[in-house]
Structure 1
Amino acid sequence: MQLFVGLGNPGAKYARNRHNIGFLAVDRIAEDHGFPPWRSKFQGVITEGRLGTEKVLLLKPETFMNLSGQSVGEAMRFYKLTPEDVVVFHDELDLAPGKVRVKQGGGHAGHNGLRSIHGHIGAEYTRVRLGIGHPGHRDRVSAYVLSDFAKAEQDWLDDVLRGVSDGATDLAAGDSGRFMNAVALRVNPPRSSGAAKTAPASQPPEPAATPVEPDTAPDARSPLQKLVDKFR
């Protein structure tokens, strides 16, 4: 079994926050892949289904971001999973909006949700880093991540979430390369190999030449008749 965890804060107040992009990602996966309704368990909400041949549990901790590890650890212990079975979707300040990266292990880079997970299960889980950009100064980070995505950001956000859902089956199968390709096809769809050549405008057919009437009809008289007529 795989455990896919989306990070965020519970409640309508935070639903569209940048900090909740992890929740949005697993919501899209659940919707697109026909998972059953969410139910309460492990200090969060869960739903269970299949991605390809893999059985996958989706989890949204409701402990608030800073205590996410409590929920993740409880679910992991219940199903006797290892950190290598866990994939965490989270917001990433150090990536530009619309950028996505997959990382195995490593530090938490000051992200409070990851910090909590590190404390409960260790560092050897997979992270799907969903770029939201940086406000420019660390003093503005808290207000920035807890603010809603702007209307102008909805297009790239939707592309990212669709791409994550498209590639979720590959991610569950352990193929992060194919997962990233699925995201890229949504975020940066390939352009045509060249601008389509414009067919020349069809020229109207030239009108058929109008037959020119001869000035006189061909002279069919015999030589003798011509001579007679000449002296009349």
Structure 2
Amino acid sequence: MASIRLIVGLGNPGPDYAATRHNAGFWLVDLLARQHSATLRAEGKFFSLYARAGEMHLLEPQTFMNASGKAVAAVARFYKIQPDEILVVHDELDLPPGAAKLKQGGGHGGHNGLRDIIAALGVQDFWRLRLGIGHPGNKAEVVNFVLKPPRKEEQDAIDRAIDCALDVMPAVLAGNMPEAMKDLHTRAK
């Protein structure tokens, strides 16, 4: 199994979105960069905030969610990173706050960031780390829901799930996905 070389956090740039549910991917990548003493810096050719820590590339697209694929494809092409070496971290409506799941491939499930990455890469078989944010219960409320900050108890649960995901990151980076999945899926529910 290939090791993960590129970790992409999905979100929307700017202070107006920083605390919103849609930025859960950014939250994890920010913490991962801090753990590895890496500084995310604006990188124009990647349309992103970018950092490198050893063999690991960290990316936060600054193109807004719906155009995330442009940044992911730019880094993948430049560093010759294959889709199965990419982990995309994103908010997940279909999981409750506090849940986190790893999976490879699949559709976009209505997530516009994933939709654009699939289109830009031309394949679906990259890895995803799905961070549960819950669902508003009404499909018409989804856009408003993801662009609002979570309630305190939801934020606490999401933060715990991110901590669990960071704990399994050494196994993820080594490409030991079965071990990472078992550990994560047991701990982050």
Q: Same fold (TM over 0.5)?
A: yes
Match of 2:141 in 1: 140
| Aligned residue pairs, count | 183
Match of 2:154 in 1: 153
Q: Deviations over 1:42-100 (max 9, x none)?
A: 000111114xxxx1100000000000000000010000111111110001111111111
CA contact (8 A) 2:131 2:158 kept: no
**Which blocks of at least 5 consecutive residues in structure 2 are unaligned?**
none
Query: Are 2:28 and 1:25 aligned?
Result: yes
Q: Secondary structure in 1 aligned to 2:130?
A: strand
Rg larger in structure:
1
Q: Secondary structure in 1 aligned to 2:16?
A: helix
**Hey, what's the Cα distance between the residues in 2 that align with 1:82 and 1:109?**
22
Deviation at 1:144, TM superposition (A): 0.3
Match of 1:202 in 2: none
Query: Are 2:52 and 1:48 aligned?
Result: yes
CA contact (8 A) 2:49 2:59 kept: yes
**Hey, what's the Cα distance between the residues in 1 that align with 2:152 and 2:117?**
31
**Which blocks of at least 5 consecutive residues in structure 1 are unaligned?**
189-232
Query: Are 2:12 and 1:6 aligned?
Result: no
**Hey, what's the Cα distance between the residues in 2 that align with 1:123 and 1:57?**
20
Q: Secondary structure in 2 aligned to 1:114?
A: helix
CA contact (8 A) 1:162 1:186 kept: no
**Which runs of 4 or more aligned residues in structure 1 lie more than 4 Å from their structure 2 counterparts after TM superposition?**
184-188
Q: Secondary structure in 2 aligned to 1:15?
A: coil
Deviation at 1:187, TM superposition (A): 4.3
Deviation at 1:182, TM superposition (A): 4.8
Match of 1:127 in 2: 128
**Hey, what's the Cα distance between the residues in 1 that align with 2:33 and 2:25?**
13
Query: Are 2:73 and 1:69 aligned?
Result: no
Match of 2:101 in 1: 101
CA contact (8 A) 1:159 1:186 kept: no
Matched AA of 1:10: P
Matched AA of 2:13: P
Match of 2:179 in 1: 178
Matched AA of 1:39: R
RCO greater where, 1 or 2, for CA within 8 Å and sep 6 or more?
2
Deviation at 1:179, TM superposition (A): 2.4
TM-score of the aligned structures, taking structure 2 as reference length:
0.90
Computed over aligned residues only, the root mean square deviation of the Cα atoms, in angstroms, reads 1.6
CA contact (8 A) 1:134 1:141 kept: yes
Deviation at 1:124, TM superposition (A): 1.3
Deviation at 1:106, TM superposition (A): 1.2
Of all paired residues, the percent bearing the same amino acid is 44
**Structure with greater proportional helix content:** 2
Deviation at 1:5, TM superposition (A): 0.3
